Amino acid sequence: MDNTTNQPETVGQQEPLIDILYKDDYRVKSYIAQMLAGAVQSVKKQSTSNTGSFFDAKGGAAIVKGEYRRSRGESSMTETETDIHDHAVMVLLQELALEPTDELPDDATGTIVHLRGELSLRDYSSFDDLVSVVGSNPTQFGATKKEVHDVKTAFKGIAKLVPLGLEAELTTPRSGIARGILKEEYMLTAYRDLVAMYSTHLPGLWDVIGILDRPRSTASPLHGAKLRSSMDIIASAARQLYDSGDNAYTIAPFLIYRELSR
């Protein structure tokens, strides 16, 4: 009989597959290392088995009559190494144990959250190219030359103060909006491919895990040197051209995915 120590678990309700859109590898490994005193680098599974065989013999033995029985035991160990592709993500989700929510908390400063809502992506770094295309024939796109010129001038000024990259905007059904900047190198699907398929608004509901902060007032500081205060005021004014003024939360995503149906 083969007695294996690692018996397969009873198949119950299957966990849904997830489609990962964005994964900040550095933060994922950093948080796992802090929680588990080390990051997951490899996964190995071991199994052992014992096999017993029995032999019977009749007569013919000089030293014993009748029958005799001899047993032989063998043991073996099998070791397999599993591909850890995205295993760190599953470990992190398990250790964080955050229930997804569609409601932004009232008090969130440096808080890890698991939000679920509708996701929009906008690449402001390519805005110059888009404006140039529209500006070549504005009437075709329902705009005037002056409108295109004004928008282009405004964004050129903003880009000198506020680095405009790939923005993620999560709209929660009940409580508002959270926005964050994504790093291109952590995108698992190229932004241009997403825009070609879906435009800026992605279909379905998306899970965003990240560090959430409450909106901060852009009022001018009451203290400090005039030069420093003036710089803060100018930077805030430039940012307001980019910001929609809807009091959105700020989030630093390190994992964005959606659950798949099957």
Tens of pLDDT, residues 25-79: 999 989 988 988 876 666 666 666 665 555 555 555 444 555 555 555 666 676 6
Q: How confident is the model at residue 236 (pLDDT cuts 50, 70, 90)?
A: low
Distance of CA 259 to the CA centre of its chain: 12
Distance of CA 170 to the CA centre of its chain: 13
| Section 160-184 average pLDDT | 83
DSSP 4: -
- Strands 249-259 and 176-182: what pairing? parallel
pLDDT at 163: 62
Mean residue pLDDT of the chain comes to 76
Cα torsion angle, 81, 82, 83, 85, sign: negative
First and final CA of the chain: distance in angstroms? 38
- What global pTM score does this model have? 0.68
The string of pLDDT tens digits covering residues 101-157 is 998 888 788 999 999 999 999 987 777 677 777 777 778 777 788 877 777 777 776
pLDDT at 150: 76
Q: Does position 195 have pLDDT exceeding 80, yes or no?
A: yes
| Section 244-254 average pLDDT | 80
| Beta carbons of 20 and 92 less than 8 angstroms apart | no
**E strands along the chain, which residues?**
18-23, 43-58, 67-82, 109-123, 166-172, 176-182, 206-213, 249-259
| Beta carbons of 93 and 32 less than 8 angstroms apart | no
pLDDT at 49: 63
